[in-house]
Amino acid sequence: VRQQNSGGDSEDSEDFALNPEDVEPVASSALPVDLPHVPYEFTRLPPEESLKRAEEFYQLMNSRRTLRFFSDEPVPVEILHKIIHTAGTSPSGAHTEPWTFVLVSEKDLKQKIRDIVEEEERINYERRMSKQWTTDLKPLRTCWVKEYLTVAPYLLLVFKQQYSYTDDGKKKLHYYHDVSINLASGILLSAIHYAGLVTLTSTPLNCGPALRAMFNRPSYEKLTLLLPIGYPAKDATVPDLKRKPLSDILIEFH
């Protein structure tokens, strides 16, 4: 059978699909062929100002931490709307915008999510994760009990659309959906942090299908992140991790 690369990391089998045109009608182009191109509005900064901003942004981002202890204090929903709108500014393959964000604050739904996640995580920790994996995680003091899933005021589920459908029922191909969702997720984490909130980048193993079904998301959407979002608990602690210095992450050729 003919295989075509639909764009993306060649190591990720999800990015290799049968030529979809062989199976069902594909939208000729999601964007109009005569899409206008308009002048780009650009504000040029003096290099000193750029350096100052780069330094400030580093300081801001370097103060971001993954939190596992949340306060139940409410957060105005408008803040969450703006943060999610910001994530949606991410670049994406052929501007396909392959993301769906599901925001949950309803108590019973959060409890249901927690039940699903804890049921799977108990099996993950007890059987599915290797001895080496659970040993490597020990310093972070994680376990299968996920109190934050009911304590945090919001849970945000990030779904990657592997493809979608146009209004007239034609399949719309989503090139580079993996890198696109990951870029949007990075912007999302930055927006959460800049807004003064905290989160935990959880990626619950084996919970995707149940959580997708719970929110009636279609089969072509895949859960990539489950983020509790809110304020930290008063007595919250974080592991005393250090980040690599620049010299360990940068190799230069000038």
Question: Quick check: 19 and 4 in contact, CB under 8 A?
Answer: yes
Cβ closer to ligand IYR: 60 or 140? 140
Question: Per residue in 78-99, is it b (16+ CB within 10 Å) or e — as a string?
Answer: ebbeebbebbeebebbbebbbb
* Of 57-65, 154-162, 197-205, 237-245: span binding ligand IYR (CB under 6 A): 197-205
Sole window of 42-50, 189-197, 201-209, 234-242 interacting with ligand IYR (rule: CB under 6 A): 201-209
**Nearest distance, CB of residue 64 and ligand IYR, angstroms:** 15
Shorter beta-carbon distance to ligand IYR: residue 207 or 233 = 207
Selected from 18, 31, 61, 137, the binder of ligand IYR by CB under 6 A is 137
Residue with Cβ nearer ligand IYR (6 or 199):
199
Does position 150 interact with ligand IYR (CB under 6 A)? The reply is no
Q: Indicate which single residue of 100, 142, 150, 206 sits in contact with ligand IYR (rule: CB under 6 A).
A: 142
Nearer to ligand IYR, 58 or 133 (CB): 133
Subset of residues 73 to 132 that bind ligand IYR, contact rule: CB under 6 A: 121
Is 202 near ligand IYR (CB under 6 A)? yes
Q: Give the residues lining the site for ligand IYR (CB under 6 A).
A: 121, 137, 140, 142, 202, 204-205
